């Protein structure tokens, strides 16, 4: 049974989300403020997903995301009543993998939870599914990434972008295609999200990223594997 932490200071909303998750077969943990959320997360190493409100007392949701990202790549969904683009951008910069604006449809929310858990590699089926190119090694089901034998930390969206590109070498993906495939067709952000994530990927991959991840100007991105 997958375990989900819900950090939300509004009790009615927290209980509603917990009830839906429990009915769907998930185990839930609750936190009423950001400081408590961090404590619960640190005390439970088997949490599979964090759902976190932005505007919480003690410590806000963005700081919670940053704290979690120091030690974990588990998926994080940010909830907020704020609708400005700035809030969405800060959420992703803080380590969130999805951004949902209140009020929202609970059935749609549950589908996004299910999809994010699936994309996160929480399942360990087919553990032999390994891709290795030029010193880069991806264990897709285990959500493990190494370069030259050294493990690197990737956020979920970065992992999924790299997986998408590297399993289709030479194919050009437009920004819109990557948004639909990685963030989902209901994502309301713009193409700059793809650009910023790929820029961080190149930085983390160093020489490998500069050598193999190519921008096709005016079109999109691709991975080239036959570079001298």
Contacts of 114 (CB under 8 A, 6+ apart): 24
Q: What pLDDT does residue 13 have?
A: 93
Q: What pLDDT does residue 199 have?
A: 94
CATH number at residue 37: 3.40.50.2300
Same domain, 113 and 8: yes
Q: What pLDDT does residue 134 have?
A: 86
Alpha-carbon gap, residue 198 to 217, rounded angstroms:
14
Query: Does the global pTM surpass 0.85?
Result: no
Strands of the sheet with 27-31, listed across from one edge: 27-31, 3-7, 47-53, 76-80, 98-101
Is 171 inside any structural domain?
A: yes
Same domain, 82 and 150: no
Is 105 inside any structural domain?
A: yes
Q: Select from 97, 119, 141 the last residue of a domain.
A: 119
Is residue 204 predicted with pLDDT exceeding 90?
Answer: yes
Same domain, 113 and 194: no
Is residue 226 predicted with pLDDT exceeding 60?
Answer: yes
Q: What pLDDT does residue 127 have?
A: 38
The gap from C-alpha 165 to its chain's centroid, in whole angstroms, comes to: 17
Same domain, 61 and 80: yes
Contacts of 18 (CB under 8 A, 6+ apart): 6, 28, 30
Is 181 inside any structural domain?
A: yes
Q: What pLDDT does residue 81 have?
A: 85
The tokens of 176 are what?
Answer: 């819109």
Is 228 inside any structural domain?
A: no
Contacts of 72 (CB under 8 A, 6+ apart): 41
Is 124 inside any structural domain?
A: no
Q: What pLDDT does residue 126 have?
A: 42
Average pLDDT on 142-167 reads 83
Q: What pLDDT does residue 159 have?
A: 84
Domain, as residue range, for 42: 3-119
Same domain, 112 and 172: no
The tokens of 164 are what?
Answer: 């998408």
The tokens of 169 are what?
Answer: 């070498």
pLDDT tens readout for residues 18-29: 999 998 889 999
Residue 38's pLDDT band (boundaries 50, 70, 90)?
A: very high
Same domain, 103 and 211: no
64: closest CA among 9, 140, 136?
9
Average pLDDT on 99-120 reads 87
74: closest CA among 137, 159, 180, 178?
159
Q: Cα dist. 184→30, 178, 181 in Å?
A: 27, 9, 6
Domain count, the chain: 2
Same domain, 41 and 106: yes
pLDDT tens readout for residues 84-96: 788 888 999 999 9
Q: What pLDDT does residue 121 have?
A: 59
pLDDT tens readout for residues 121-143: 544 444 346 777 888 887 765 66
Q: Select from 84, 119, 154 the last residue of a domain.
A: 119
Is residue 62 predicted with pLDDT exceeding 60?
Answer: yes
Length of the chain, please? 228
Is residue 99 predicted with pLDDT exceeding 60?
Answer: yes
């Amino acid at each position: 049974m997958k375990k989900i932490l819900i950090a939300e200071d509004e009790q009615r909303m927290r209980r509603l989300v917990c009830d839906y998750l429990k009915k769907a077969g998930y185990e839930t943990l609750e936190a009423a403020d950001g400081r408590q959320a961090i404590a619960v997360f640190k005390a439970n190493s088997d949490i599979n997903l964090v759902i976190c409100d932005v505007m919480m007392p003690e410590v806000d949701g963005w700081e919670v995301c940053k704290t979690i990202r120091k030690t974990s790549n588990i998926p994080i969904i940010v909830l907020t009543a704020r609708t400005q683009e700035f809030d969405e951008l800060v959420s992703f910069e803080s380590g969130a993998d999805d951004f949902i604006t209140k009020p929202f449809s609970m059935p749609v929310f549950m589908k996004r939870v299910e999809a994010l858990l699936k994309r996160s590699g929480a399942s360990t089926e087919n553990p032999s599914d390994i891709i290795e190119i030029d010193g880069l090694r991806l264990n897709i089901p285990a959500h493990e990434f190494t370069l030259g034998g050294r493990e690197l930390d990737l956020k979920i969206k970065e992992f999924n972008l790299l997986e998408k590109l590297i399993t289709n070498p030479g194919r050009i993906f437009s920004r819109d295609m990557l948004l639909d495939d990685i963030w989902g067709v209901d994502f309301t952000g713009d193409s700059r999200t793809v650009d910023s994530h790929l820029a961080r990927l190149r930085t983390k991959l160093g020489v490998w990223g500069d050598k193999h991840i190519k921008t096709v100007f005016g079109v999109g991105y691709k991975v080239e594997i036959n570079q001298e």
